[in-house]
């Protein structure tokens, strides 16, 4: 199932969101580690994009990595997110994670860190970029 593209009205979104959420989602900022609402959450549900409400992750793929941000081992579907090479910390290269529906910044994905998860990936996502829809 392909994600539906959503046009974001920047002025409306900025008025709707708190300043940190807006900076993360639209300008690629990062919330401070260990401060996010969902970092240690064990609530069962669906994590949705705070900008457009698209489904991104499910609690079944969330795990405790100790990194200071919510961590998942996979998105809901391959087309829920887009991945972009991030060289902002050059020479280190990272992979940025964006919402496929509205192109909002969510966080980064890392591979090969040795976590005992099915994908050997850590999707490190800012709490302020998501809303948890509890089941």
Residues annotated as catalytic are: 124
Contact 8, 102 (CB under 8 A): yes
Please enumerate in sequence order all residues whose Cβ is within 8 A of that of 75, keeping only pairs 6 or more positions apart, or say none: 56, 57, 61, 81, 97, 123
CA neighbor of 80 nearest in space, from 133, 27, 4: 4
CA atoms 97, 115, 70, 126: torsion sign: negative
């Amino acid at each position: 199932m392909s994600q539906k593209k959503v046009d974001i009205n920047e002025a409306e979104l900025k008025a709707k969101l708190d300043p940190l959420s807006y900076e993360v989602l639209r300008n690629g900022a990062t919330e401070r580690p260990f401060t996010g609402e969902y970092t240690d959450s064990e609530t069962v549900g669906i994590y949705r994009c705070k900008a457009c409400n698209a489904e991104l992750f499910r609690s079944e793929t969330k795990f405790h990595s100790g990194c200071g941000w919510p961590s998942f081992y996979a998105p809901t579907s391959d087309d829920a997110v887009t991945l972009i090479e991030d060289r902002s910390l050059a020479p280190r290269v990272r992979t940025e994670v964006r919402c496929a529906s509205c192109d909002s910044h969510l966080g980064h994905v890392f591979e090969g860190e040795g976590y005992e998860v099915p994908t050997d990936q850590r999707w490190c996502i800012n709490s302020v970029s998501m809303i948890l829809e509890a089941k």
